[in-house]
């Protein structure tokens, strides 16, 4: 049994705004959400990259205390976008708690801010240190904390999938949610990912010399995917949630349908844990197109992973050219907000939906001079009014994981 899967609600908290109106405003005005890395009295002083994709506005939460007690910052983000999706969904509670609706939601490693407090006890053997490990600390910091705080808050009783594959977490959440519905295991899945402000992640990339450092005095000028002067990625924070439903179920209840997920793939490079692989990305695209039953020429727009690392962008551009030629439009949306880690695939899928539904394609920000080694694809350099029939969202992660999602415009 294969069933159609549609997207019926979305929400996101990003460095360029909260919700469609704010995010569209930033995209329309070419506004960056990259700011100076804020001080954390921990690692920030030692990190060479002084830029961060920052949620620099207040998000208003009204969660009762019974929920707040197990929420770390990462889950505040996750539960807020989930709440906005649930509020707009119109789903009735009987269905939500029927076991036919599940959650696929993750983060790169739970809550680093809570984990840091726990780790302090590793180096302080005393009864005081032991007692300082609060009863709720594990629930706040565990790797599936976002998913199960969402299930608890909304009484969702179906499947729980909590991917934690770094930068492919969000796209895997959508992909595995799509498959759970497509093959009849669930009728609806709340999918997404979130990550909180965290300098340990920045330090990892900084020590690998993969972070941007040349634009510390002008944060909005970086990252610069595909640009000749790109000098690395910018870590960021944020969250996004999407509601996926079986098509007939959504149609019957009169849900607004924003787009259809028509394909997903996930593969591994089968080799290096860090270096990107052209062959691996090509295989991912080819497998995704097969799953979606699409030809390369059916795809109008590609949201590239495009982190703005020297090698990563070249490998991705070459792989896109190899499988699609230079016809589909290509943008790197991290140029606006940095790399929101686990959340990037979900946020980029939400923005792809905006573009599909508004008939607009947003350009790669800061792409002033295309690196000739990335020039073989159809870069979007300015806002364009274009009809997108099929968008593909590509994401790649440490460990050699690649994903491709295919989202179709509803007629």
Partner 1 sequence: MTRDEIKKKILAFLEEEFEIQNPGLDDNLREKHEFDSIDAIVLLEYIEELIDSPLLQEEKKRAMDIRNINQIIDYIEGLIRARS
Per CB under 8 A, residues contacting partner 1 are 64-66, 69-70, 131, 135-136, 139
Shortest reach from residue 65's CB to partner 1, in Å: 4
* Matching residue, tokens 């977490």: 169
User: Please, which residue, 145 or 366, has the CB nearer to partner 1?
Assistant: 145
User: Please, which residue, 97 or 322, has the CB nearer to partner 1?
Assistant: 97
Shortest reach from residue 409's CB to partner 1, in Å: 44
Shortest reach from residue 137's CB to partner 1, in Å: 10
User: Please, which residue, 134 or 218, has the CB nearer to partner 1?
Assistant: 134
Token pair of 326 as six digits = 């230079």
* Matching residue, tokens 């690692």: 43
User: Please, which residue, 148 or 343, has the CB nearer to partner 1?
Assistant: 148
User: Please, which residue, 138 or 398, has the CB nearer to partner 1?
Assistant: 138
Shortest reach from residue 267's CB to partner 1, in Å: 40
Using H for helix, E for strand and C for coil, what is the string for 357-395? HHCEECCCCCCCCECHHHCCCEECCCCEECCCCEEEEEE
User: Please, which residue, 140 or 230, has the CB nearer to partner 1?
Assistant: 140
Task: Report the largest interatomic distance among the alpha carbons of the chain, rounded to a whole angstrom.
Answer: 65
User: Please, which residue, 71 or 233, has the CB nearer to partner 1?
Assistant: 71
Shortest reach from residue 70's CB to partner 1, in Å: 7
Separation of alpha carbons 240 and 78, rounded Å? 7
Shortest reach from residue 66's CB to partner 1, in Å: 5
User: Please, which residue, 69 or 290, has the CB nearer to partner 1?
Assistant: 69
User: Please, which residue, 70 or 146, has the CB nearer to partner 1?
Assistant: 70
Asked whether 194 and 16 are in contact (CB, 8 A), the reply is no
User: Please, which residue, 140 or 224, has the CB nearer to partner 1?
Assistant: 140
Shortest reach from residue 125's CB to partner 1, in Å: 18
Shortest reach from residue 146's CB to partner 1, in Å: 18
Shortest reach from residue 395's CB to partner 1, in Å: 35
Separation of alpha carbons 35 and 55, rounded Å? 9
Shortest reach from residue 71's CB to partner 1, in Å: 12
* Pairing outcome for strands 34-36 and 51-53: antiparallel
Asked whether 164 and 146 are in contact (CB, 8 A), the reply is no
């Amino acid at each position: 049994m294969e069933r159609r899967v549609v997207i019926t609600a979305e929400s996101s908290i990003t460095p360029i705004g909260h919700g469609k109106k704010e995010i569209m405003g930033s995209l329309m005005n070419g506004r960056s959400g990259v700011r100076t890395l804020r001080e954390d009295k921990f690692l920030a002083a030692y990190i060479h990259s002084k830029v961060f994709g920052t949620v620099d506005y207040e998000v208003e939460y009204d969660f009762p205390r019974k929920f707040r007690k197990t929420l770390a910052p990462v889950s505040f983000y996750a539960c807020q976008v989930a709440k906005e999706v649930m509020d707009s969904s119109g789903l009735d509670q009987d269905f939500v708690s029927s076991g036919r609706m599940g959650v696929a939601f993750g983060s790169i490693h739970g809550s680093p801010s809570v984990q840091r407090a726990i780790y302090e006890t590793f180096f302080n053997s005393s009864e005081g240190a032991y007692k300082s490990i609060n009863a709720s600390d594990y629930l706040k910091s565990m790797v599936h904390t976002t998913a199960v705080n969402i299930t608890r808050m909304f009484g969702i009783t179906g499947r729980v999938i909590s991917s934690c594959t770094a930068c492919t977490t969000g796209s895997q959440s959508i992909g595995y949610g799509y498959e759970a519905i497509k093959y009849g295991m669930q009728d609806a899945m709340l999918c997404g990912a979130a990550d909180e402000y965290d300098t340990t992640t920045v330090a990892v990339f900084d020590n690998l010399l993969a972070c941007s450092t040349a634009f510390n005095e002008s944060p909005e000028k970086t990252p610069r995917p595909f640009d000749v002067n790109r000098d690395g990625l910018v870590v960021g924070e944020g969250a996004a949630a999407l509601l996926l439903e079986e098509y007939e179920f959504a149609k019957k209840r009169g849900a607004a349908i924003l787009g259809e997920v028509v394909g997903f793939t996930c593969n591994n490079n089968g080799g290096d844990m860090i270096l990107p692989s052209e062959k691996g990305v090509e295989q991912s695209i080819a497998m995704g197109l097969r799953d979606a039953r699409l030809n390369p020429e059916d795809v109008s727009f590609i949201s590239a992973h495009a982190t703005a690392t020297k090698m990563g962008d070249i490998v991705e551009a070459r792989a896109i050219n190899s499988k699609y030629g230079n016809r589909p439009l290509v943008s790197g949306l991290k140029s606006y907000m940095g790399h929101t880690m686990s959340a990037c695939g979900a946020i980029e899928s939400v923005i792809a939906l905006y573009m599909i539904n508004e008939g607009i394609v947003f350009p790669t920000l800061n792409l002033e001079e295309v690196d000739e080694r990335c020039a073989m694809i159809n870069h979007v350099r300015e806002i364009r009014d274009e009809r997108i029939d099929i968008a593909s969202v590509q994401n790649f992660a440490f460990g050699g994981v690649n994903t491709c999602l295919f989202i179709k415009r509803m007629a």
